[in-house]
Amino acid sequence: MASLMEMKEIFRSADAVCFDVDSTVIREEGIDELAKFCGVGDAVAEMTRRAMGGTVTFKAALTARLGLIRPSYEQVQKLISDNPPQLTPGIRELVSRLHQRGVQVFLVSGGFQSIVEHVALQLNIPTANVFANRLKFYFNGEYAGFDETQPTAESGGKGKVIAHLKEQFHFKKVVMIGDGATDMEACPPGDCFIGFGGNVIRKQVKEKAKWYITHFDELLKELEER
């Protein structure tokens, strides 16, 4: 296992950095915000807590939560326009600095494509660099489930995305940054996991992550030191 010093060197020389989105790049959990918007906030928030703690499989939790919310296409679009996701302080500067260094930045999320793409646009991240879950709708706009073939729809999916990126782009060093158990599990194949507790602290992640930060300024400083 890499030491903290070795992990910092991996981060400084990474080809690609993958960010989780909910409670990492943005301050809130997208699915919880959607649930609140659709009037089932409390029940879904409890399911999210269990999923992030790693006590149920991600896919089972996602299926159950969406089964409660049943969001329409119109509700999803209205959520984005009325309550746009709030970027976490420091993320804009960090992504910009990584881009300046020629590092590829990806958003790898168990959240929803339409919301994550909105976030990507604000950070100048190409939508091709977004890996997230796709909601399905009937022609009348009613909820029709989600695309279960997406790797991000199941536990271990973020690791599959990183493995795919390494194979496709021949990246040597890929860093994963996130707040939850599904992010930590992505390393390996990721080369370094950085736990993020700036919005919410997950006890299991804080205890197990060798490198744990609470503000993105800490990573900006690492990049300035080289």
Burial of 27: CB neighbours in 10 Å, binned 0-12, 13-18, 19+: middle
Q: What's the DSSP call for residue 69?
A: H
Cα distances (angstroms) measured from residue 103 to each of 4, 62, 89, 117, 187: 21, 31, 20, 19, 19
Helix/strand/coil for 47: helix
20 is catalytic: yes
> Which residue is catalytic, options 15, 20, 42, 147?
20
Handedness of CA 93, 206, 185, 199 (dihedral sign): negative
Q: Which of 218, 219, 216 is nearest to 91 (CA)?
A: 216
> Which residue is catalytic, options 22, 32, 179, 191?
22
Sheet holding 212-213, edge to edge: 130-133, 104-112, 16-19, 174-178, 192-196, 212-213
Distance of CA 7 to the CA centre of its chain: 20
Half-sphere exposure of 5 (CA within 13 A, CB side): 0
Q: Which residues are catalytic?
A: 20, 22
